[in-house]
Structure 1
Amino acid sequence: MTDFLGLTWDHPRGRNALAAAAPRLGGGDRLHWHVQPLEGFESAPIDELARSYDLLVLDHPHLGDALATASLRPLDELVDAEQIRAWEQAAIGPTLASYRMAGQLWALPLDAATQVSARRRDLVPDAPTTWGEAEQLAERGLLALSLAGPHAFLSLCSVAVSFGDNPGSTPGGLFHRPTAQRALALLTHLAARAPEGTELLNPIGLLGRMRDHGDIGYLPLVYGYVTYSAPELAFGTVPTENGRIGSTLGGTGIAVTRRSEPSPALLDHLRWLLREQTQRTFIPAHDGQPGIRAAWTDLDVDTAAHGFYSGTRAVLEAAWVRPRLPGYIPFQSAASAIVRAAISGGRSGASALDELEERFAQLGTHPSREDLP
């Protein structure tokens, strides 16, 4: 009998399905799940966590530090190539590809998410389709932005993508400067008209306030949480520029740490979690947000979620994958503080963009292009 220890994030979407599934582990082994706040990986280096846990639920930008510290075991060492090919074919959008680096797979796409839009049907009967239409809603005081934590920088990146940029791929820099200037100006304009206090809320806080207080009618870019989908709250595509979707991939993967010696039963358990039937039934029934396309296209799953999956699937399929570089996670936090300062008028946009470029240039070695999805 072996006891295994896993770490996930402290929200029903992050913990309930894993905790409910743990007793199914066979072979006499046991699996125990601990939880940490959503932002926990920013305060505890991943190599420290990997020394304490056998399984880690993480986001794809953590891979830069994870590989630099040899914290994870590549799944290619643990399962056969046929199984990995099956997972590649089953995963939705770039979810699985975002966990592939250096020619190997480092995590399984347990949970798929990206920035989408959310609106109260009573306040905003028709969702904006362009950023120009979103600005009109802002003038009425109905629009809020997701700016707390890392989200100010992620929102800037997504708007830049919708304007035609591909952050991190510009030779010698993070952004195409004119595009970033336009994106920052748009966010500044929208934020100045948002309901008071919304700039302090993370996605969970924003969605809760939208649902419960009725002073937010529309969120143009917020990470989708199926647990908030309801008849009065609709999730859908994001505003576009010339039809181009700009959204930053989120979600989580489940990784095996270097300290772990997974038993056959534990590996079977991971396979079971990613099995199509599990993803279409067990995961949604326990507040999860599946990572397999078959669940996102299942009519019964979508109906139970009030159209969440059909409304946002196209955004997920087109999502931008963040850089996976050593030091990226603390960079993302610092970058968001810089963006918030510019949006609030605390510093000039030009100096903010200059500092973003300087900090990005200091990150670790960029992966080769073939490692990017």
Structure 2
Amino acid sequence: MTFIGLTWDHPRGYNALAETARRINVGRGDALIQWNKQPLEGFESAPIRELADRNDLLVMDHPHIGEAVAEGCFRPLEELYSEEQLQAWRGASIGPSATSYHWDGKTWALPLDVATQVMARRGDRIGEAPKTWGEVLDAAKRQPVAQSLAGPHAVLSLMSMVAGAGGTVGGEGLLSDEEATGALETMQRLYAYRPKGSEALNPIGLLEAMARAEDIALVPLVFGYVTYAASGHAPHVVHFSDTIRCAGGVGGVIGGTGIAFTRRCRPTPELLDHIASLLSAETQIETFPAFGGQPSARAAWQSLPVNRHWGDFYRDTLATAEAALLRPRFDGYIAFQAAAADHIRAALERREDPATTLSVLRTLWRGARQAARGHLDDRKG
């Protein structure tokens, strides 16, 4: 029997899984596992129930957990692995990466890959990473500074700025007043300086523009992609560093992916062992980095050989990953995220008063929470 898995089509999401599948499938009559791939946008546009009905394993992003549980898509891992094993994986995983897949008392996926919003800059154009948002604004007067605003990233950037300033994210009010207002004001000022068209670029597009052209010198908050930190990948190396945050502030929004068993899957012991091996120290330190992945294991982020090969990407963003912000995950959050990001982009374009923007975001937020099925992040629904 061959188990079918679905992942995203970026090398970071596919290559390491394909390599581990190749190894386990060698010498078998029937492959144990086959990985298919689709664009990352496909996970946003197709209902997760449809994807779960067609696949045994899904590589997914944790904000979909609330919807997936409400739809009954996944098998809780407590049915498949011992509590001791689950606790060991939680302890070995960096920051909230493992916690992000724990929902309503159960574990629904294992953390494979970790990314956080971090700072990215061309070191040959901006030597020292800015330490404050005032320094970022000063840099924008001299060099092209872009914000990550496309897709959901406008609201994720706002959340990261609020959390980094020590404000709250979530609950009935979504964002604390003072920090949210200040962040929106800063975003407006940076928007006025932006390289034209940069507001439409996703994180990969922003990093490509930095690495292959002179269009962008700094992005203060963007999901990191380790390949851009290595020499030889593109004409210019991109330097990554920790986010701007005050004492007690939280790092950038955590992203990355986890692997879930769908309800249709009837895993064999061999499949369970293979999936467990993906979180082993050997696979996380050796295979995932070697094939362009960004491992979830803390040991890989701290590894000297891994950092030496990848331009110290992990060492330079370790503090942010450990203190990363876990965004909401309730059923309906994904739709809120899209609507909120759309409004923020429109608000920046028309220079809307930040208090008005925050009021609209809260209206969207409260409507999404009221319509949610089941658990909310901060209380039971």
Q: Could you tell me the TM-score, scaled by structure 2's length?
A: 0.93
Query: Contact 1:130–1:241 (CA<8 Å) still a contact in 2?
Result: no
Counterpart-to-counterpart distance in 2, 1:201 and 1:310: 27
Letter in 1 for 2:115: A
Equivalent position of 2:260 in the other structure: 255
1:229 aligns with 2:229: yes
TM-score, with structure 1 as normaliser: 0.95
Q: Structure 1 unaligned runs (5+)? A: none
The ranges of structure 1 where at least 4 consecutive aligned residues each deviate by more than 6 angstroms after the TM superposition are none
Structure 1 residues 11 and 127: alpha-carbon distance in aligned structure 2, compared to 1, 3 A threshold: same
Q: Does 1:367 align with 2:376?
A: yes
Which has the higher mean CA deviation after the structures are superposed, 240-249 or 112-121?
Answer: 240-249
Measure the CA separation in 1 of the matches of 2:261 and 2:293: 20
CA distance in 2, matches of 1:137, 1:263: 55
Choose which of 319, 329, 332 in structure 1 pairs with 2:334: 329
Amino acid at match of 2:267: P
Residues 246 and 90 (structure 1), Cα distance of their counterparts in 2 relative to 1, 3 Å cut? closer
Distance between the aligned counterparts of 1:346 and 1:135, measured in 2? Answer: 17
What's the counterpart of residue 361 of structure 2?
A: 356
Aligned partner of 1:314 in structure 2 is 319
CA distance in 1: counterparts of 2:40 and 2:299, whole angstroms: 27
SS at match of 1:239: coil
Question: 1:286 matched to which residue of 2?
Answer: 291
Q: 5+ residue gaps in structure 2? A: 232-236
Structure with bigger RCO (C-alpha 8 Å, 6+ apart): 1
Q: Which residue of 1 aligns with 2:275?
A: 270
SS of alignment partner, residue 234 of structure 1:
strand
Equivalent position amino acid for 1:296 in 2: W
1:175-200 deviation per Cα after TM superposition (whole angstroms, max 9, x unaligned): 12232111111111111101111111
Question: How big is each residue's C-alpha offset from its partner over 1:196-234, in whole Å with a ceiling of 9 and x where there is no partner?
Answer: 111110000000000110221111100010111135321
SS at 2:58's partner residue? Answer: strand
Alignment of 1:75-94 (within 5 A): 75-94=77-96
Deviations 1:304-330 (A, max 9, x none): 001000000100111110111101111
CA distance in 1, matches of 2:130, 2:357: 29
Of the structure 1 ranges 138-147 and 358-367, higher mean CA displacement relative to structure 2 is found in: 358-367
Is the CA contact (8 Å cut-off) linking 1:119 and 1:233 kept in structure 2? yes
Q: Using the TM superposition, give the Cα deviation of residue 142 of structure 1 relative to its aligned residue in structure 2, in angstroms.
A: 2.5
Shift in alpha-carbon separation, 1:323–1:229, aligned structure 2, 3 A: same
Comparing 148-157 and 226-235, the one that deviates more = 226-235
Deviations, residues 2-53 of structure 1 (Å, cap 9, x unaligned)? 1111111110100111111112336754312121212222201111111011
Deviates more, 1:141-150 or 1:238-247: 238-247
Q: Deviations over 1:239-279 (max 9, x none)?
A: 23457344101111011111111111111111111100111
- Look up the SS of the partner of 1:73 in the other structure: coil
Which residue of 91, 99, 102 maps to 2:101?
A: 99
Question: Following the alignment from structure 1 to structure 2, what is the Cα–Cα distance between the partners of residues 33 and 337?
Answer: 33
Partner of 2:218: 218
Q: CA deviation at 1:158?
A: 0.6
CA distance 1:369–1:153, shift in 2 (3 Å): closer
CA root-mean-square deviation: 1.7
Q: What is the 5 A alignment of 1:41-80?
A: 41-80=43-82
Distance 1:208 1:336 in 2: 22
CA distance in 2, matches of 1:295, 1:165: 31
Q: CA deviation at 1:134?
A: 0.8
1:18 counterpart SS class: helix
Cα shift readout 1:54-83 (whole Å, capped 9, x = no counterpart): 111111110010011110001110011121
One-letter amino acid of the structure 1 residue matched with residue 185 of structure 2: A
Task: Give the partner amino acid of 2:287.
Answer: F
**Residue 20 of structure 2 aligns with which residue?**
21
Conserved 8 A contact 1:134-1:239: no
Cα pair 2:166 2:250 within 8 Å, conserved: no
> Structure 1 residues 59 and 368, CA, compared in 2 at 3 Å: closer, same or farther?
closer
Tell me what 2:206 maps to. Answer: 206
Measure how far apart 1:351 and its partner are.
Answer: 3.2
121 and 358 in structure 1: CA distance in 2 versus 1, 3 angstrom threshold:
same
Report if the CA contact (8 A) 1:131-1:240 is conserved.
Answer: no
- Which whole-Å CA distance do the structure 1 matches of 2:31 and 2:268 have between them? 8
- What is the alpha-carbon distance in structure 1 between the residues aligned to residue 247 and residue 298 of structure 2? 27
